Every structure is written in C-alpha cells, then in structure tokens.
Structure 1
Amino acid sequence: MILVLVEVSPAGEAVETSREAITFARDLAAAGGGVPIDAVLVGTPDDALVGVLAAHGVRRIHALTGAAYDSFSGAAWAAGVEQVRAGAGSVVVMASGTPRGNEVLAHLGARAAVPMAANVVSFGGLSPFTVTRQVVGGAALEEMQLSQRPALFTVAGHAVEARPADTHGAGELVVETPEVPDADLVARVVSTDEPEPDLSGTLKSAKVVVGAGRGAGSAEGFDDLLELADLLDASLGVSRVVTSLGWRPHHEQVGQTGSRISPDLYIPCGISGAIQHWAGCSSAKAILAINTDPDAPMVTKATHAVIGDLHEVIPAVNAEIRRRRG
C-alpha cells in the first residue's frame, strides 16, 4: 500500500502539490499492479475535501487529530504518519516536496533508519525500486535506488500534473488520535505572521509570468514590465538579486529559494539565468527570453529569445499590443 501525506490549506483544501503527489502515487500504484493508495492529513477534513481526495483515487483518509497537532511540528507529524504507516502496512510513503513535506519525511526516515529521496521527478524499475530526483537546485538529475522499506520520497513540485483518477476511490474517513511523546513537541510552530498581500497574483498557478532581473536597472525600472504583465493578465516574477536589492518584495521571487512556477509562457527580461533561478522556472512550457547577452544561460535555454535592451523592447511590445487591441 502507498501512503501519501496531504497538506491542507487554511481554506481546508488539498494544496496542488499534494494532489500532484497523489497523481504520481497512482502512476506508481498502476506500475505495481494496482496497489491501494491511502492519504494521511492533519485535522478532520470536510465533505468537500474527502470528495476531492476520493476523486483522485484515495481509498482511505487517515485524519490525525489531538492537541499535538494544533500547530506544526515536523517530529510530531512524523510520529503520527509512522503510526498510520505501521498500522496500514504501507511499503511506500510519499509527500510533496514542500518544506513541510521534506521535513516530515526526513524525520520519518531517521525513525525508520532508511534513506529518504527528496524532489523526485520520476520512477524507473520496481525491482530494485529506482527514482530520479532533482539535485543541485534542479540543475542536475540523480538516479537513486530505494531498496529498503518503507521507501520514502517527496515529489518535486509540478513533476506531474494533478488530475483526478479514472476510477474514484472509496474515500473512507478514519479519524485517529495517535500518542505523541513530549520529546516530539520540543520544536514546533508557536506563531505565524501573515505575509504581505501578493499584488502580483499567484505565481505558482499563473499561466503567464513576466520575469525581471538585474537588467531592470532600479526599483523605478519596472513600470513597463508591470504594464506588460497587466496587458497579458500575467503575474510578475523576479530574480533573487532583485529582492536582495530591495527593488521588489520577496513573494515575487522565482527560484530555488522562491516560487517554483510552471506557466504556459515565461518571459524573463534581463535575467541571466543562474542555476538557482532556473530551478524555479525550468517547468515552464515555453520561455521567451529578452536579454542583451546572446550567451546568457537563460537565452541559450529559452524556446525563443530577443536580443536587446528590455527598456527598448518591452515598451515596443506594449505599444503593439495596445495598437492591436484598438
């Protein structure tokens, strides 16, 4: 049996990367002869969430409840997941490759004394069980054998597209209150600050993203880029150097330490394409780079490129869009 840790948003919905992990689990289950898939989550899900998980092929939903789960603790969540795993006889435990997913499965691996593969993008043979995962910020791929049981791994964001199952699962809800030792609650979240409002839109779900790097020149150099984003109904994404210089807020950052995006179109302007940034945008279906350097890594990897100064190219593009729209 495959067990998938599902993260739930404050609105009570399964986050997209968790639905992607379940989709990945279905592909793995089919390759293994159709073994069942269970989900484990914190809190009691409402009927809508149960229905979504059932539609994605989940047989049973294990809901962890109790005071120990009132706030996030990687060790406490791992303790609960391990008790569910042991009771259900899971041979594979998965999560999405988010900070929480990676932390919980790392704790689980330490408890079970087995390795954990982070940021897996695909699987190969089942005997021995092999996976391919992103390393060096997504700049390279590594093949790894998971010969011990349980096999533990997290799925890289957007490695697969979340999709409902052809045949719905039973979606049976089982509420559990596992015992959690005090030692597992030493490190836990004690307070949460609300992030700044994201005025650029939701990067991770945007269909079009306009990117900006050092080539913007200054905090005042974003007017044309913001206009292009508005004309294309796109989100604005920036490189790490832009946020480090204080030109734009951190929630707009794309890259290894920012958001990982998978738009239909990414338009990086004045971005050289360092490994860390590429790790966040390499899943884009098409990339149109605008840069003065024809040898910049982003230009050489792009689907299409315009060699020129963004402060000349973008105003011309904006004017043409406005002209065609009348």
Structure 2
Amino acid sequence: MTTVLILLDDPAQAADLAPQARGLGERVDAVIITDDPAHTDPVGPGTVSAGTVEAAGACGVGRLYVTRHELLASYSPDAWAAVVAELVDRIRPEGVLATAGTRPAEVLAHTAARLGAPLATHCVHIDDGAQLDDSAHVGHAGFPDTGGTGRGAGTETWRITRTRSGGVLLEDADLTAPVRMATVAPGCTVSGARHPDEPADSRACEVVDVVPELSPGDARVRLVERTEGERGLSLSAAPVVVSGGRGVGSAEGFTALEELADALGGVVGCSRVATSNGWRPHRDQVGLTGTKVAPELYIACGISGATQHWVGCMDSTVILAVNTDPEAPMMQRATYSVVGDVHEVLPAILAELGRRRAGGSSAATTPDSATPDSATPEPAVPDTSAPDASSQGSADAVSGLPARGT
C-alpha cells in the first residue's frame, strides 16, 4: 500500500493537503508538530485535542503522528526536520507534502538536506503517472539505487508544474526519488490513480505518539520570543497600498506617503531599498522577499520596478506609478504613470483630495443643491478594465492632475 505523509503545523491544513495526498497514494498519514497551545489538550505537550483527531479522520487521514519532546516546545526548523526525516525513514512513504507557507517550506527544505533528496516548492499541479525507464534511475543519499527494483530504486516520478521567480514563470519538471517531497501552492491540482475529490474513506484516525531522538544541537536555531504585531489594517489585506522606494529619499520622505495612505484608507509599503536603508521596517516590504499584495489600488512612489518588487504587487487591480524616469520598468507596466518628483506630485494629490472633499461637503449649502433636480456631480472615475495607451500618464484617477507622463 502506497502512503503519502503530510506535514501539518496547523491542523486546519489537513482539509487541503489530505485530498491532494489521496490523489497520489492509497493511504494518507499525517505528522503534526505544533508549538501553538490552541491545538493541544491541557494534559501536556504532545497530545492533540479530540477535535483535531476527528477532523483529520474526516479528511481521510488514517494515522496521525503526534510528536513529544522538550526541544519541540518552540519552533525550531532543524528539530522539526529531524522529526520528519525520522518518520520518513520509519514508514518510507511515497511522498511528503506540505503547504507552501513559510514554516512548512523551511522544515521540508531542512528535511531534504538531511536526506540528500530533492524538494519541489510552490507546486500548482502534481501528476503521479510518469515513470522513468531503467536507464534513468537516480539514487540519493540514504536511499541507494538498487538497480531498478525495490523501494530504493529511485524510479518513481511525479511530474510537477511549479511557479518560479515569484509566480512570473511556470516550470514543468520531473521529480524523481524514492521519497518525493513537495510544497503545494493554494489551489494545487493533482492527477493520480485516485481522484482527490473522491470522498475520504470513513475511518477512525489512529493516533501514534512519537518521541524522536533529538540532541540540543538540533534546536540551536529556535523561536525564543513572540511579540504582538501592530493592530489595524495589514499590508496583505489593505485595499490601498502606497509604497515608496529609492526615489522617496529618506525615512522622513515617507511622511507624505503616510498622509496619502491615511486619506485613502490604506497602508504604507516599501521596496527592498527602503528596508535596506533603514527607512522602513521589513514588515512593510512588498516583493519576493517581503509580502505579496493584491490591493484595489497600488501607488508606487519612486520605485523603479525591479522583478523582485514587481512580483509582489503585480496582482493589484490598478497600479499608479510616480517616478522621474519615464523608462523605469514600473512606469512601463503601471496602469497609470506620472512623470514627476514624488515630493511634488504627492502634495498636489493630497491638496486635490482635500479640495474635492471640501467641495463635496459645502455643496449642500449652495442654492442649486436645494432644488430636487440638481445634484453634486461625482468625480469621474476612469475605466481601468482595459486602459489604452492614451491613459498612460494620466493622474486624473487620483487627483485630477494634468497628464505629465508616458
């Protein structure tokens, strides 16, 4: 019976991972390693709640491995990886799946390093139907090539499609190893012998306690403190993001961006340059090594638009770029572009927003507004569904400024 092991750092992940694993194997086992007391019973570390076990069983998980060790009390990527590697050696699954989140991906990367095995990340599709011929066997450390037969042959292949360069590219590849490891992106599809959408077998989930063999060196890197983040709108959920880059010039230069973000009900973001220069904290960084955002409006102020930043904001509904360089990549890709100095354009936008709001509030006192047939006209909102070349450079979408750019 083929088995696929899923790694859970949150029990809720079983609802997505278990159906995907069912498409790749006949049996689904899960290992839960968590430092969150919300997922455990008060009896002590290493005991999960009855609700967690029931939910796992409902998803088709046949066996739930629950770890128990004092070195697992806080998150440690090396220690967690040691647990997964030990289970892989113990149960020899066909594959190991985890979500593409930060912690699961980090743990599987450490696991792959320990096993000398390949890891495919950010998969959007996995097909288990591919098989390599006898001339293409690949052996891996810990799983010796046995010449084409047996569990160590290395002939089993998953054909995968995964995102690269932050989602800009899709790559097709063959993942060949006795134990294949992959992280799956949200919405990942699976093609296998059994369709992942088939109902899970109705069975009780067996709970197996695991006391791994760990040494203090396995936990040399660990989480030592949690601090509560700032309350309010988060960068990833904000409907409007006003980001600044090198063109803002200094930490003080972000004052105008903060004022504009407040006026539009949004938050401030930044490029990697702004973070590297100490102008903004890393939590504000948008991009491949920061946060990916998809707001209704993204305003890029003094940002050139390098690939690592573009992949973090390219899903925005509308992008307005402000830059002195009309040839900057961000200016070429934006929905609207304004050629100008950020410190001149943003004050003009703020002044125009203030004028329009003041005009709207005073309109009720004008003689014309007293008549039932008259109404204060709403500011024109451009159609951004398919902007043509003539829309580039128009600032009317935000402030009514005359077109100045490309």
TM-score category of the 2 structures, normalised to the smaller one:
0.7 to 0.9
Find the aligned partners of 1:48 and 1:204 in 2 and give their Cα distance. Answer: 33
Query: Given the alignment, which residue of 179, 201, 207 partners 1:150?
Result: 179
Query: Given the alignment, which residue of 310, 314, 318 partners 1:278?
Result: 310
The 5 Å alignment of 1:161-176 reads: 172=205, 174=207, 176=209
- Secondary structure at the aligned position of 2:337 is classed as strand
- Secondary structure at the aligned position of 2:290 is classed as coil
- Name the structure 1 match of 2:333: 301
Q: CA deviation at 1:70?
A: 1.7
Compared with structure 1, are the counterparts of its residues 55 and 233 closer, same or farther at alpha carbon in structure 2 (3 Å cutoff)? Answer: farther
- Secondary structure at the aligned position of 1:191 is classed as coil
Contact 1:202/1:235 (8 A) holds in 2: yes
| Length-normalised TM-score, structure 1 | 0.74
Q: CA deviation at 1:312?
A: 4.0
**Could you tell me which amino acid in structure 2 is paired with residue 7 of structure 1?**
D
The 5 Å alignment of 1:17-32 reads: 19=13, 23=16, 26=19, 28-29=20-21, 32=24
% identity of equivalent residues: 36
- Secondary structure at the aligned position of 1:106 is classed as helix
**Could you tell me which amino acid in structure 1 is paired with residue 243 of structure 2?**
G
Q: CA deviation at 1:259?
A: 2.4
Contact 1:39/1:58 (8 A) holds in 2: no
C-alpha root-mean-square deviation of aligned residues, in Å?
Answer: 4.0
Compared with structure 1, are the counterparts of its residues 82 and 283 closer, same or farther at alpha carbon in structure 2 (3 Å cutoff)? Answer: farther
Q: CA deviation at 1:239?
A: 0.6
Query: Does 2:243 correspond to 1:211?
Result: yes
- Name the structure 1 match of 2:220: 187
Q: CA deviation at 1:242?
A: 1.1
- Name the structure 1 match of 2:68: 65
Query: Does 2:271 correspond to 1:239?
Result: yes
**Could you tell me which amino acid in structure 2 is paired with residue 67 of structure 1?**
E
Query: Given the alignment, which residue of 114, 117, 130 partners 1:114?
Result: 117
**Could you tell me which amino acid in structure 1 is paired with residue 336 of structure 2?**
A
Higher alpha-carbon Rg: 2
- Secondary structure at the aligned position of 1:185 is classed as helix
Compared with structure 1, are the counterparts of its residues 282 and 85 closer, same or farther at alpha carbon in structure 2 (3 Å cutoff)? Answer: farther
Query: Does 2:159 correspond to 1:130?
Result: yes
For this pair of structures, how many residues does the alignment match? Answer: 308
**Could you tell me which amino acid in structure 2 is paired with residue 293 of structure 1?**
D
**Could you tell me which amino acid in structure 2 is paired with residue 227 of structure 1?**
E
Contact 2:21/2:97 (8 A) holds in 1: no
Find the aligned partners of 1:208 and 1:39 in 2 and give their Cα distance. Answer: 39
Find the aligned partners of 2:96 and 2:246 in 1 and give their Cα distance. Answer: 41
Query: Given the alignment, which residue of 93, 96, 108 partners 1:105?
Result: 108
Query: Does 2:33 correspond to 1:41?
Result: yes
Find the aligned partners of 1:284 and 1:48 in 2 and give their Cα distance. Answer: 41
Query: Does 2:282 correspond to 1:254?
Result: no
Contact 1:198/1:251 (8 A) holds in 2: no
- Secondary structure at the aligned position of 1:294 is classed as coil
- Name the structure 1 match of 2:210: 177
Find the aligned partners of 1:204 and 1:110 in 2 and give their Cα distance. Answer: 31
Compared with structure 1, are the counterparts of its residues 124 and 153 closer, same or farther at alpha carbon in structure 2 (3 Å cutoff)? Answer: closer
Find the aligned partners of 2:321 and 2:17 in 1 and give their Cα distance. Answer: 31
Contact 2:6/2:31 (8 A) holds in 1: yes
Structure with more relative contact order (C-alpha pairs < 8 Å, separation 6 or more): 1
Query: Given the alignment, which residue of 91, 95, 98 partners 2:98?
Result: 95
Find the aligned partners of 2:54 and 2:235 in 1 and give their Cα distance. Answer: 23
- Secondary structure at the aligned position of 1:306 is classed as strand
Q: CA deviation at 1:166?
A: 11
Residue range with higher mean Cα deviation, 205-214 or 92-101: 92-101
Q: CA deviation at 1:124?
A: 4.9
* Uncovered stretches (5+) of structure 2, i.e. residues with no partner: 41-48, 131-157, 189-196, 362-406
- Secondary structure at the aligned position of 1:221 is classed as helix
Find the aligned partners of 2:207 and 2:113 in 1 and give their Cα distance. Answer: 26
- Secondary structure at the aligned position of 1:93 is classed as strand
- Name the structure 2 match of 1:229: 261
Q: CA deviation at 1:50?
A: 3.1
Compared with structure 1, are the counterparts of its residues 185 and 217 closer, same or farther at alpha carbon in structure 2 (3 Å cutoff)? Answer: closer
Contact 1:261/1:283 (8 A) holds in 2: yes
Q: CA deviation at 1:117?
A: 1.6
Compared with structure 1, are the counterparts of its residues 92 and 300 closer, same or farther at alpha carbon in structure 2 (3 Å cutoff)? Answer: farther
Compared with structure 1, are the counterparts of its residues 173 and 263 closer, same or farther at alpha carbon in structure 2 (3 Å cutoff)? Answer: farther
Contact 2:96/2:180 (8 A) holds in 1: yes
Contact 2:6/2:21 (8 A) holds in 1: no
Find the aligned partners of 1:32 and 1:123 in 2 and give their Cα distance. Answer: 12
